[in-house]
Structure formats: C-alpha cells, structure tokens
Amino acid sequence: MKRELGIASCGLACCLCSENTVCKGCQVEAHEGPERCENRDCCAEKGLSHCSACEADCRKGLLAKIKPYAFTQFVKRYGEAQLLDCLAANEQKGVVYHREGIFGDYDAFDDVEALIEFIRTGVR
C-alpha cells in the first residue's frame, strides 16, 4: 500500500490502486476530455478536498458506484486516517482492492452498510 497516495476526491483508494502509476486522477490540473472527473471538479468548485467533506449525500459521478460511495461514507463517519488504517490491515489479511482489472474484494457488495462493515473488519 502506498499510503501517501491517500484517497481520491470521490473516495477511491489511490493508495491501493494497481493503476496508480498511470492514473492521473485528482492530480490532473486541466480536467478536460477523457481526464475529466465530475467529482473532482465539484470538490474544486466548493473548495473541498474530497466528497467526504461535503454535507450533501450525493450520488453523482463515481459516487453512483457502491465502492467509492461506501468509502466516502466511511470517511464521513470515521475519518480518512481510519479508512487508510483499515485498508492497510485488510491488505495484510489478504483482502484485494483490484483483481482481474478493476474487480476486487470491495466490489462484491450491493449493500453500502455491509461494505462499510467489511472495510472496518475485513470479514465477510
């Protein structure tokens, strides 16, 4: 885990992403064309670093997907440091963020609360 890469504006775990060497994500200054990120742009417009800092319970952009939404909700409840701690502990337990491209252990959920509990415990 590359903890220093932290969490993206939308809640995705840059610190665990196998694509973090090629993904420009939130680091891209000019978010135009294929690099454009609705969540990053919204945060920038509101002067926020992450969607988790916003009072709105929104599901736009990547927050329409359960993983970034649940990660964002986790940060709202417990803080980014706790999320990073849980992700590191889960990685040590063998929990995989990405598998076969973009599908990993955190993607196998259809219930936000169940995913948040899995993040906390690493146990299904």
**pLDDT digits over 32-68, tens only?**
555 678 898 899 899 998 999 999 999 999 999 999 9
Sequence-separated (6 or more) residues with CB below 8 Å from residue 82: 74
Q: What is the pLDDT of residue 35?
A: 60
**Contact 13/97 with Cβ under 8 angstroms?**
yes
Name 99's bridge partners: 103
Contact 10, 72 (CB under 8 A): yes
**The model's pTM:** 0.88
What average pLDDT does the segment 108-114 reach? 95
Beta strands (DSSP E) in the chain are: none
pLDDT in the model for residue 31? 47
50: left (phi over 0), alpha (psi -120 to 50) or beta: beta
